[in-house]
A = this chain, B = another copy of it.
Amino acid sequence: MVTIKDVAQDAGVAVGTVSKVINGQYVSEKNRMKVEESVRKLGYQMNFYARGLKTRNTYTVAAIVPEILNPFFAIWVYHIEQELYKNGYKMLLCNTQGTVEKEEHYFRMAAQNKVDGIICVTYRDAEPYVSEEIPLVSLDRHFEKRVSCISSDNYLGGELAARKMISTGSKSLLYLRSGSAVSGETLKRGSGFADCCKANGIPCETVDLGDDFQIFENGSSSIDDALCNFLISCRRTGRMRYDGIYTSTDSLAWVLLTQMRKLGIQVPEEAQIIGHDGLRMMNRGGYMVSSIAQPVEEMARKSVEMILKKIRGEETEILTILPVKFVDGGTTR
């Protein structure tokens, strides 16, 4: 392996001079040329770990998500990686599976400068091990400390969903949610929805299915059954009690749609469904369900921009909210 020392010797300069050339600091034109020539000739490439030992910079950012199998997070991670790569950074991927253990592990790594920063999606209470010193950007989740949060306009999303269903004739609405209650920003989806219903004099209820990590575990989950039983109880009077359902995520909307079809409930005739996220199968073609789409790519770009600023020690906004829009996926009228 060729080191800075070999280059220095070949170019007839000191190692410090080589280092300066590599890092773009000022050296005389003559020496710069000599060094660059030697670098090329010897095929020198920096050893990042040696540099990291001195500078405490690893050019690596950890992306922590609950679950890469969830298409929303997959797309999110995809864009994060692309953006980081453009900026010369690598991405360490971590699936927490909703457990604290792995999350803590990565936060510790960051604290020890094993990674330069963290971009995370955490739906649990990570407050205890988040420190002000670690560059950290969070998706959808506020912290008490000065952690930047990237989110989309969840309140407006809920409103858009309600407006759409009301304008297409729904008279009895439901907000169906699942997932952790510490979801921060995403809780506003329900508020926007409920507020809009109230403003329009349309009855609206909320049902919470609880934590949904098991959804992505091994095939069947209790949520399917819970949902099925719930739907049956909704039809006890002969017809669906709700003719418009807004779900907290597209994943949930998809499970709902599957169960409704199984029970023979016509969508969107008997009941409309609007999800949230704007997922498309394989990220192409039409939307899986009618939905409130988040600008994932833009959110990822912003997240990376933020984390790089933080790594450089610059000031950053605490909260960035990007716009959402309604998209038709065939489950609305």
Contacts and interface: CB of A to CB of B under 8 A. Distances in A.
A48 B114 contact: yes
A79 to B, nearest CB: 10
Interface string A39-75: 0000001011110110000101000000011110011
Contact of A74 (B68, B113, B215): B68
Interface string A211-229: 0000111111100100000
A266 interface: no
A235 interface: no
A282 B251 contact: yes
A91 interface: yes
Contact of A70 (B251, B280, B282): B282
Contact of A82 (B53, B95, B113): B95
A199 interface: no
Contacts of A93: 77, 81, 91-93
Interface string A181-210: 000000000000000000000000000000
Contact of A85 (B75, B102, B282): B102
A131 to B, nearest CB: 13
Interface residues of A, number: 50
Interface in A110-128: 112-114
A52 B48 CA distance: 10
Contact of A282 (B45, B91, B254): B254
Nearest to A95: B81
A284 B77 contact: no
Contacts of A85: 94, 102
Contacts of A219: 280, 284-285
Given A75-B69, A219-B285, A283-B69, A47 B92 contact: no
A49 B45 contact: no
A303 to B, nearest CB: 16
A251 B284 CA distance: 11
A81 B94 contact: yes
Interface in A240-293: 251, 254-255, 258, 280-285
Nearest to A2: B112
B52 A49 contact: yes
Given A49-B53, A68-B81, A254-B282, 6 more contacts: A50-B53, A69-B283, A82-B95, A85-B102, A92-B92, A281-B281
17 contacts: A45-B108, A45-B112, A47-B112, A49-B58, A69-B74, A71-B71, A71-B282, A78-B95, A82-B95, A85-B102, A92-B93, A215-B284, A216-B282, A216-B283, A219-B280, A221-B284, A258-B285
Interface of A: 1, 45, 47-50, 52-53, 58, 60, 68-71, 74-75, 77-78, 81-82, 85, 90-95, 102, 108, 112-114, 215-221, 224, 251, 254-255, 258, 280-285
Would you list the 6 A-B pairs with minimal beta carbon distance, nearest first?
A: A93-B93, A49-B52, A69-B283, A49-B49, A74-B74, A68-B78
